[in-house]
């Protein structure tokens, strides 16, 4: 029987039961894809991150939901850096992660003890608001944007917090051009002590609603950064958990900042 190191971490969280759960599993080399997918399904959290060291301060990184491999995952990247800094003896200033579809991503510690991730800013474009989207969300947005996901902008943060989205309908929205509308985010300016309030629904990736989503906040940065023209704080209002995410659009890059807490440390047996 083979045993692999295993860390379950709440990312974008300052304490247990906040943010988003990620499992981080360091390996000497990646196991076959079907094995990685089976492990992620067994872990049954939003993402499992697999990391393989390739050089000094450099790791290959892959992310799997319980059903698919994804091109970018912010909270599991933050969790991977937390595992390296807090449990695996890494004492460098910055961690570099090489990924298959999102290039090299870096994570460093900030003076206030949080982690800062450097991600590419996505290209976005205005899109039409359609009746099927409004039906799935139970409300008609002010505007919509396309990019890695479909984004619906509302007038009031309370519209986001109280939203009763129809997950089955969101999952059936399908694809329009290159926008995967089965993964859909909603946002509004303002909120309780924050600049932006959002939520993210991802049934197309096997996640009805995600508690904290770094890749989604890259798109939030692209939408709200030009309007606010400064770093800003976001609250992802997942019912019962919630996540605080610092966001800053810097040219064609996005800085995401947050905390992380280890919940479980152990071994995964194969």
The catalytic position among 47, 131, 158, 209 is 47
User: Does 47 qualify as catalytic in the annotation?
Assistant: yes
Cα–Cα distance for residue pair 226/119, rounded to 1 Å: 17
Cα–Cα distance for residue pair 188/242, rounded to 1 Å: 15
Cα–Cα distance for residue pair 38/270, rounded to 1 Å: 11
**Among 3.10.310.10, 3.20.20.410, 1.20.1420.20, 1.20.1530.20, what is the CATH number of 3-121+257-269?**
3.10.310.10
Which pLDDT value is given to residue 172? 85
Cα–Cα distance for residue pair 99/97, rounded to 1 Å: 6
Which pLDDT value is given to residue 204? 84
Which residues fall within 8 angstroms of residue 228, CB to CB, at 6 or more apart? 195
Which pLDDT value is given to residue 180? 61
Is 206 strand, coil or helix? coil
| Annotated domain spans of the chain | 3-121+257-269, 125-241
Q: Which CATH class is domain 125-241?
A: alpha beta
What would the two tokens of residue 263 be?
A: 């919940």
Cα–Cα distance for residue pair 176/249, rounded to 1 Å: 26
Cα–Cα distance for residue pair 266/136, rounded to 1 Å: 40
Residue 264, sorted as left (phi over 0), alpha (psi -120 to 50) or beta, turns out to be: beta
Distances from the Cα of 253 to the Cα of 125, 185, 219, 221, angstroms = 17, 20, 11, 9
Q: How many residues does the chain have?
A: 270
pLDDT in tens, the chain (270 residues): 889 999 999 999 999 999 999 999 999 999 999 999 999 999 999 999 999 999 999 999 999 999 999 998 999 999 999 999 999 999 999 999 999 999 999 999 998 889 999 999 999 999 989 899 999 999 999 999 999 999 999 999 999 999 999 999 998 886 455 556 688 999 999 999 999 999 999 998 888 999 999 999 999 999 999 999 999 999 999 999 999 999 999 999 999 999 999 999 999 999
Which pLDDT value is given to residue 242? 92
Q: Which of 234, 231, 243, 248 is nearest to 9 (CA)?
A: 243
Same fold, 3-121+257-269 and 125-241: yes
């Amino acid at each position: 029987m083979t045993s692999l190191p295993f860390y379950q971490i709440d990312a974008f969280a300052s304490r247990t039961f906040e943010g988003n759960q990620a499992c981080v599993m360091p390996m000497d080399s990646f196991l076959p894809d079907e094995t990685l997918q089976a492990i992620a399904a067994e872990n049954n959290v939003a993402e499992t991150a697999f990391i393989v060291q390739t050089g000094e301060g450099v790791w290959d990184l892959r992310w799997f939901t319980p059903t698919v491999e994804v091109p970018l995952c912010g909270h599991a990247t933050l969790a991977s850096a937390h595992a390296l800094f807090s449990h695996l003896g890494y004492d460098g200033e910055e961690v570099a992660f090489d990924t298959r579809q999102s290039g090299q991503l870096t994570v460093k510690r900030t003076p206030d003890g949080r982690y800062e991730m450097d991600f590419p800013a996505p290209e976005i474009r205005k899109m039409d608001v359609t009746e099927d989207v409004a039906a799935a969300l139970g409300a008609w947005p002010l505007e919509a944007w396309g990019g890695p996901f479909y984004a619906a902008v509302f007038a009031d943060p309370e519209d986001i917090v109280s939203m009763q989205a129809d997950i089955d309908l969101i999952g059936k929205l399908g694809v329009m051009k290159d926008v995967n509308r089965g993964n859909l985010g909603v946002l509004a300016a303002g909120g309780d002590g924050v600049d932006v309030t959002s939520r993210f629904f991802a049934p197309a990736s096997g996640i009805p609603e995600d508690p904290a989503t770094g890749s989604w906040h890259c798109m939030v940065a692209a939408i709200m950064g030009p309007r606010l023209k400064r770093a800003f704080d976001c609250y992802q209002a997942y019912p019962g958990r919630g996540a605080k995410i610092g966001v800053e659009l810097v040219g064609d890059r996005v800085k995401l900042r947050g905390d992380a807490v280890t919940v479980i440390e152990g071994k995964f047996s194969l």
